[in-house]
Amino acid sequence: MWIPDVSTQPVEVPAIYLAANSPSTQLEEGATHKLGVCNAINSEADIRPIADAEIYLGNYMHQKFNFDAYPDLSPRTDTLVRIIEQPKHGRLMQAYPDTTDHHRNQYKYIPDVDYGDVDYFVLEVKASGISVQIYYTMLISLPTENTYTLGENGEKIDNCPKEHWKISAIPNASPTAISLNGTVINLPHITSV
């Protein structure tokens, strides 16, 4: 029986195949995107959910979207920022409650007095059918301590392992954790992706 020679030359992948398998960067109306944000603090912190939502869309969706202004630069009237989950060991308050400009959606997080541990809360930014939920983790150290977080076994790790991360794409970890050089840090407030 005759067996044909099999080519040992590498097969070139057509460019169209590579383009078809590149990640989609289209913003889907009605889709909810989720971003994790970590802040290591000793006292109050400025919270800018619109800036964080724009970081998500720029870094992970490769899209420019301005929650403060329409493409013609007129102020947006459809942007909504809402608190989905309040912090357990502190409070959120509007930083500039009497303004109508882009500062109206900035907040201050103020931890409880003498509290030095982890707190979390969730905000949502929404406009034109685009929604970004932002899961904030606050690593609070008492004013006399350096900022730190706790590792899987209770060990102190300086500062945040990551400042921003896409919740549905946390490398080397479960959706409810972030990984720092192989050490998994659980985030109990993130229950689904």
Q: Is residue 159 part of a domain?
A: no
H or E segment at 20?
helix 15-20
Q: Annotate 153-171 with three-state secondary structure.
A: CCCEEECCCCCEEEHHHCC
Which residue has better confidence, 155 or 62? 62
Q: Is residue 2 part of a domain?
A: no
Q: Is residue 50 part of a domain?
A: yes
**Residue 50 has which token pair?**
């619109």
Q: Is residue 86 part of a domain?
A: yes
Q: pLDDT tens digits, residue range 127-150?
A: 988 999 999 988 887 665 555 555
| Over residues 155-174, mean pLDDT | 62
What residues make up the domain containing 92? 32-146
Q: Is residue 46 part of a domain?
A: yes
Residue 87 sits in a domain whose CATH number is 2.60.40.10
Cβ neighbours of residue 32 closer than 8 Å, sequence gap 6 or more = 131, 132, 133
| Over residues 18-40, mean pLDDT | 67
Q: Is residue 55 part of a domain?
A: yes
What's the structural domain count of the chain? 1
Q: Is residue 177 part of a domain?
A: no
